[in-house]
Amino acid sequence: MKRVLVTGAYGQLGLALQGAVKDSNLDLIFKDKNALDITNAEEVNKVFATQSFDVCINAAAYTNVDGAESNKELAYKINSTAVETLAKACKQHRCWLVHISTDYVFDGTLDGPYTPSDTPNPLNVYGASKLAGEQAIRAVGGTYSVVRTSWLYSQYGNNFYTKLQAQLDAGKTLQVTADQKGCPTPAEDLAAHLLTGIANQQLVKGISHYCGSEVMTWLDLARRLFPNQEVLEWGGTSSPPVRPNKVVLKHNNS
């Protein structure tokens, strides 16, 4: 049975992986920031030196897109420098690194779906820091899978779905923008994709894309998630210049 280290245990994907573990024949070891701070190279090296892992799923990330603009150093520390540390540890200990990246590495100007071979051009600090993490992994080498995804949502943590649910619980009417398009992805689906791909050794090595198969706006998604609620289109714009208006990933969900 493969031993799989999962960082970011209490983030959205980490929690989705915990929910999916019962259906897996993998031995998953979950570590949150308190158990393993990936920005601390000494901690990372100690964990890998004292424990044996076949795979490491890096589900830890700085994901606050707007916050990254004013916290550039922290975004790069978590999304790039720490990723390089993990990549080096994985290579040294012959561990397969599975790293989650984002559609924000693209600028949204392509007329059609982005493939893994398309040239990235991030518009914001978040996207640039995630791209730097990808580049660090490639530079280090070893066995790795970088999985880009988009618009991740679930019942876990702080995301589009839970924010809207909180608004409903507070008695507010939902007002959602329709000025961006993408491919929403349930975190549970991504978790299942990763665990199945690892178990059967079919997760793509190198860079791949995994996302929902439908292109829609945030307004479309809100109405899909809350079909019995009134969801109004917000008349303003929620897209600062650093946010691409449309990024569609060519998904390989089989």
- Residues with a known catalytic role: 126
Residue 157 region, left (φ>0) first, then alpha (ψ -120 to 50), else beta?
Answer: left
**Sequence-ordered list of residues with C-beta below 8 angstroms from that of 194, at least 6 positions apart, any chain:** 17, 57, 98, 147, 203
Displacement of CA 204 from its chain's centroid (Å): 16
For residue 149, the tally of other CB atoms under 10 A from its CB is: 24
Quick check: helix, strand or coil at residue 135?
helix
Question: Distance between terminal CA atoms of the chain?
Answer: 23
The sign of the dihedral angle between the CA atoms of 11, 17, 22, 26 is negative
Number of residues in the chain: 254
For Cα atoms 205, 194, 138, give the angle at the middle one, nearest 5 degrees: 30
Residue 7 region, left (φ>0) first, then alpha (ψ -120 to 50), else beta?
Answer: beta
